[in-house]
Amino acid sequence: MQLPYTKKTLGNGLDVIVHEDHQLPMVAVNIWYHVGSKNERPGRTGFAHLFEHLMFEGSAHHDHGFFPPLQRAGGLLNGSTSMDRTNYWEVVPTGALELALWMESDRMGYLLPALTDAKFNNQRDVVINERRQNYENRPYGLAGMALSAAMFPPDHPYHWLTIGSAEDLKATTLDEVHAFFKTYYHPANASLSLAGDIETGQAFDLAEQFFGDLTPGPVPQPIRGNAQLESSHDLLLEDRVELPRVYLSWHSPAMFAPDDAELDVMADVLAHGKTSRLYRSLVFERRVATDVSSHQHSREIAGVFQVACTAAAGVALAELHTAVRDTIAEIARNGPTESELERALIQSEANFIYRLQTIGGFGGKGDQLNAYNVFRGDPGYFDADRQRYRAVTAAGVAAAARRFLVDPPLVTLSVVPRGRRELALPGAIEVSVS
C-alpha cells in the first residue's frame, strides 16, 4: 500500500510533496501548517482556530472571500484545525490548479495587509458564536472542556480545547493575532502536497513559481508538555440533558508511540460496532445504556483513552461505571478473543484503504502525505503505520490495557440533568465550565 511520491524542500523551507494520479483531470492541493491550539498559551487561546476563519476572508491581492473564485472554477475546498495542526485543501479541475496555488500563496505570504480590525472583530464574533452553538448550547458539549481541564494542568498545551476561551478571544488584540500569524503561518512551518493529474516536474516548477519567493519565518521550537494524574478524580457536571452520561478518561500514549495501536484496537473491541463488548452487553442485551463509545485519542505529545456511556432511563451511572471497569479488567487479564482481534484488525486495514480512495479532501491521499510528513518527517510512512496494526496481538492489547487502564488513576465525569445531582457517581465533585 505504498503511495508513490516525490518530495522537495524549497529554499524558504516549504516542503513540497507530489503524487501523480492521472485517472481524473483534477488536482488536490493540500497545505498543512504545523500549528494548532497546543501552540497557544494560557490566557490567549483560540488563535489557531480563529485563523482557520480569517484565512478565508481575503488577502492583499485578493481582498475578497476565498470560496467564490475556486467554486466558480468547479473546485471544492475547506479547512480544519486541531490541537496539533491546521490544514487547508482544494480539489480543482487541472486547469484551475494555478488559480488555487496563487490564492494559497497569497494568503500564506500576504494575509496580514488585508487583515483589518473589521475582519478580525467579525470573525472573532463568529468563533464565539460557534463556541456557543457547538459547546455551550449542545447537550454534553461542555464535557470535553471539563475533562481536558482535569486531565492536564493549566500550563499544559492540551489543557484547553481548540475552540479556545471566549474570554481569551474577547481580550485578544489585533497586534497579538498578527504576531501569532508571523510565528506559524509561513513556508518554513508548512507542508504542501499536490496529488492528481499533474507531472512531477511541472508541480515543483509551479510550487517554486508561486511560493518560492515568500519569506520564511523562524522555525518554531517543538512544544513539550508532561502530565500525569497523582490520583483519580470523580467529577460532576450539570447540563441541559435528558439522560445522565458517564465519561472515563486515562492518560495514554502519544501518536505513533508504543502501545498507541494496541489501545486503538482496545477501543474497537470495547465499543466500536454492535458486536463490540460494551455495546452488545450494555445496549443490546441488558438495555441499561442508550449508547456507548470508546476512543484512543492519540495526539502529537500525549494521548487520552476515553469511554463514554449514556444511561437508559432509571439506570444509575454507578452500574455503567462498574460494567466498563469490569470489562476492561477482563480484557486486561485474558486479552480480546481471536474473533474480536480479527474484526478490529480488518477494520483498521479497511480504514487505510478507505483513506486512499480519494486524492483530496479530509483524509485523502494529499492529506495523508502531509500528515505523515508533518508528524513523522516521512510522507511515505503508510506501510510503517499499517505495520503497527498488523503487529498487534491479543497479548499486546492485554498488556497495554493493564499498563494504562487498570491500575493508573483516571478522571471520571458524571454529566447529569440540572437539579439531579443524585444521579452522579457517589462522591463526585461538582466542576464549573465556561
Average pLDDT over residues 207-219: 96
Q: What is the mean pLDDT of the chain?
A: 96
**CATH number of the CATH domain containing 207:** 3.30.830.10
**Do 138 and 169 share a domain, yes or no?**
yes
**Into how many domains does the chain fold?**
2
**Do 191 and 117 share a domain, yes or no?**
yes
**Do 299 and 414 share a domain, yes or no?**
yes
Residue 1: pLDDT band (50, 70, 90) is low
d(CA 56, CA 173): 20
| Residues 3-26: b if buried by 16+ CB within 10 A, e if exposed | bebebeebebebbbbbbebeeeeb
- Quick check: is 226 in a domain? no
Provide the CA 386 distance to its chain's centre, in angstroms. 19
Task: Give the burial class of 227: count Cβ atoms within 10 A of its Cβ; 0-12 exposed, 13-18 middle, 19 or more buried.
Answer: middle
User: Residue for cell digits 478565508?
Assistant: 56
**Do 170 and 277 share a domain, yes or no?**
no
Average pLDDT over residues 280-298: 97
**267 pLDDT exceeds 80?**
yes
Task: Give the burial class of 119: count Cβ atoms within 10 A of its Cβ; 0-12 exposed, 13-18 middle, 19 or more buried.
Answer: middle
Please state the φ and ψ torsions of residue 69, each to the nearest 5 degrees.
-60, -40
Structural domain span for residue 203: 7-211
**288 pLDDT exceeds 70?**
yes
What is the value of pTM for the model shown? Answer: 0.95
Residue 434: pLDDT band (50, 70, 90) is confident
d(CA 249, CA 261): 17
Residue type, 216: P
Retrieve residue 183's grid coordinates: 510565528
- Quick check: is 228 in a domain? no
**281 pLDDT exceeds 70?**
yes
pLDDT, one tens digit per residue, over 125-170 is: 999 999 999 999 999 999 999 999 999 999 999 999 999 999 999 9
**Do 158 and 298 share a domain, yes or no?**
no
